[in-house]
Structure 1
Amino acid sequence: MELFRIKKDIPFMRHALVFNVISALTFVAAVFFLFHKGLHLSIEFTGGTVMEVSYPKAANLEAIRKTVEGLGYTDNQVASFGTAQDVIIRLPAQKNLNSAEISEKVKSGLLAQDPSVKVQRVEFVGPQVGEELARDGLSALGMVVIGIMIYMAIRFEWKFAVSAIIANLHDVVIILGFFAFFQWEFSLTVLAAVLAVLGYSVNESVVVFDRVRETFRDRRYGKLATPEVMNHAITSTISRTIITHGSTQMMVLS
């Protein structure tokens, strides 16, 4: 599938050193922030209280957030849940307070703000469950990496597998580095998104590697040096890349 065709190969490899230096510096910075600051894990991983409340009319999320913060829970998440009338409140675990005490305190504060509020459910995620989810997430990532290496080694050769793992983990680590630097919350949804990014990266690697192999085998390109083959492979797949990632971005933005 092509949206457009570029007749002349773009000399990507001419600037390979610059690109590699930028990638290496970004990667090192991401690793540094991951170890120095760490990820801001959500309550799915750390444990905490989840409350679902409903209002007879559209809820004022900002007012609810201020009420919860006024009770001393500054590290909270308040968001619509399904409809504009339903709200989900996530609170991290508190020392010397159990889930029942936390939920009652928040319920009293919300009732003082709006007597029409109703608590639909209260759930508590224990630290042990959070640790289990974290282990499962890391296990999923590890199995994906191993699966990628096996697939790439079978379809191409081990050199392609190693380079694909380096390139794809580079993408994942940099994303995690941004989350560590800005202290954005890392939740199960974000973990799923990271695995999706890894899937897109693998897909892109397979397409480009396949074109590299075809170009090496094609007699029309027999006189091309390896950097020129790389340029041709990337240039000839740009249209497909733009269509794939562009359509994904449109769905995300919508």
Structure 2
Amino acid sequence: MSKLGDLGAKLYRGEVGYDFVGKRMLWYAVSILITITAIVALAVQGLNMGIEFKGGAVFTTPKTDVTVAKATEVAEEASGHVAIVQKLGNGTMRIQVSGLDTDQANGVKTKIAADLGMKEQDVNADLVGPSWGEQIANKAWTGLAVFMVLVVVYLAIAFEWRMAVAALIALIHDLTITVGIYALVGFEVTPGTVIGLLTILGYSLYDTVVVFDGLKEASKDITKQTRYTYSEMANRSLNGTLVRSINTTVVALLPVAGLLFIGGGFLGAGMLNDISLSLFVGLAAGAYSSIFIATPLVADLKEREPAMKALRKRVLAKRASGARDEEPEGTEEGTEVVAQARAGRAAGRRR
């Protein structure tokens, strides 16, 4: 067995582990800081909406040796608007100019062809109306709302409402971070971006549902024992699926990274940038939230139940009575609970 496989087996059996749930306040603080940064970026810089949402013209040139800087200068001078120029992998160029109507687009096309030394008929011009982008955005919002409702309903039925709430918060967390990254780096938001954002919703839920399923099974008869509190059981379930979560996330990120850094960076494929950045950030944020947000939130909500409070008292009492062989290993929360129990017992003796 490999070292990683051996570590995974030990995590699954509870022989080793990291106290993710016990340190939940730290993870909450980190997530809140990241989320606030994303919201500030959105408020200050806003999103760089693509031409599909603003309307305008897209000019595609034949293969050329003209530099991006030169093409940008020519397009902006010809149109009087800001131009976005991309060098595509086959040597052609894609020039986007917002705010042009049909007559203006024809004139700009003629000027671009003349200034760049091309035949006018070789320059393709496509006019995009803003209404099309509005339809895409409205359908995306509708799809997002329906997806969220279905997720909450399904998780509430398959697991319980606390897990549904935790998963929903984790999803909102992932989407906020992904959109905030777009605002920070200035990547253009296109229909490809919308597709990527809707795609990551499923990936974000994958690891979360795996952990929740293991936790549901492990905590089925949790009130009939006095070995672990609910938070400790949640932490054990999380550690048991940790290596699996890391492996699946890395495997999913590798091809997406290839699209982002090779396809988008070196080949200059614009649509690949739009989809791959949202997928890359969303996958990473989803893996983070399933480990550091969703499961600790479930533990917080469950520990408020009277049954779980009574269980915690019984576990403390059992440990205080000297049953050291039942003390949970490898979690800081368990160690803290035992220390509190011992301190309480010593105070009782002094009285």
Bin of the TM-score, shorter chain as denominator length: 0.7 to 0.9
CA contact (8 A) 2:75 2:83 kept: no
In structure 2, the partner of 1:224 is 228
Alpha-carbon distance, 1:59 to partner? 6.4
Out of 19, 26, 34, which is 1:26 matched to? 34
Q: Deviation digits for residues 135-190 of structure 1, max 9, x if unmatched? A: 11211211221121122122111111111001111110121122234433211112
In structure 1, the partner of 2:239 is 235
The aligned runs of 1:7-22 (5 Å cut-off) are 7=10, 8-22=16-30
CA contact (8 A) 1:44 1:133 kept: no
In structure 2, the partner of 1:67 is 74
Give the whole-Å Cα distance in 2 for the aligned partners of 1:111 and 1:161. 60
In structure 1, the partner of 2:96 is 90
CA contact (8 A) 1:54 1:87 kept: yes
In structure 2, the partner of 1:178 is 181
For 1:160, give the aligned amino acid: M
Q: CA RMSD in A?
A: 2.6
CA pair 237-108 structure 1, distance change in 2 beyond 3 A: same
Which structure 1 residue ranges, 5 or more long, are not aligned? none
CA contact (8 A) 1:152 1:160 kept: yes
CA contact (8 A) 2:50 2:189 kept: yes
Task: Classify the secondary structure of the residue corresponding to 1:114.
Answer: coil
Give the whole-Å Cα distance in 2 for the aligned partners of 1:114 and 1:67. 11
1:249 aligns with 2:246: no
Which is higher, the Rg of structure 1 or of structure 2?
2
1:52 aligns with 2:60: yes
Q: Deviation digits for residues 2-23 of structure 1, max 9, x if unmatched? A: 9633421211122210110121
In structure 1, the partner of 2:162 is 159
Alpha-carbon distance, 1:61 to partner? 4.1
Higher relative contact order (CA 8 A, sep 6+): 1
TM-score (norm: length of structure 2): 0.63
CA pair 209-59 structure 1, distance change in 2 beyond 3 A: farther
Which structure 2 residue ranges, 5 or more long, are not aligned? 11-15, 259-351
Give the whole-Å Cα distance in 1 for the aligned partners of 2:229 and 2:147. 33
For 1:169, give the aligned amino acid: I
CA contact (8 A) 1:51 1:119 kept: no
CA pair 210-92 structure 1, distance change in 2 beyond 3 A: same
CA contact (8 A) 1:52 1:122 kept: yes
Give the whole-Å Cα distance in 2 for the aligned partners of 1:240 and 1:58. 48
Task: Classify the secondary structure of the residue corresponding to 1:88.
Answer: strand
Task: Classify the secondary structure of the residue corresponding to 1:13.
Answer: coil
1:149 aligns with 2:152: yes
Give the whole-Å Cα distance in 2 for the aligned partners of 1:144 and 1:195. 9
Out of 179, 196, 199, which is 1:196 matched to? 199
Structure with greater strand percent: 1
CA pair 151-79 structure 1, distance change in 2 beyond 3 A: farther
TM-score (norm: length of structure 1): 0.84
Alpha-carbon distance, 1:41 to partner? 1.1
Task: Classify the secondary structure of the residue corresponding to 1:179.
Answer: helix
CA pair 242-62 structure 1, distance change in 2 beyond 3 A: farther
The answer to which of 11-20 and 67-76 deviates more is 67-76
Give the whole-Å Cα distance in 2 for the aligned partners of 1:120 and 1:112. 12
For 2:160, give the aligned amino acid: E
Alpha-carbon distance, 1:66 to partner? 3.8
CA contact (8 A) 1:59 1:86 kept: no
1:168 aligns with 2:171: yes
CA contact (8 A) 1:50 1:91 kept: yes
Alpha-carbon distance, 1:85 to partner? 3.8
Structure with greater helix percent: 2
Task: Classify the secondary structure of the residue corresponding to 1:14.
Answer: coil
Alpha-carbon distance, 1:251 to partner? 0.4
For 1:88, give the aligned amino acid: R
Task: Percent identity, please.
Answer: 25
Alpha-carbon distance, 1:117 to partner? 6.9
Out of 129, 133, 142, which is 1:130 matched to? 133
For 1:226, give the aligned amino acid: Y
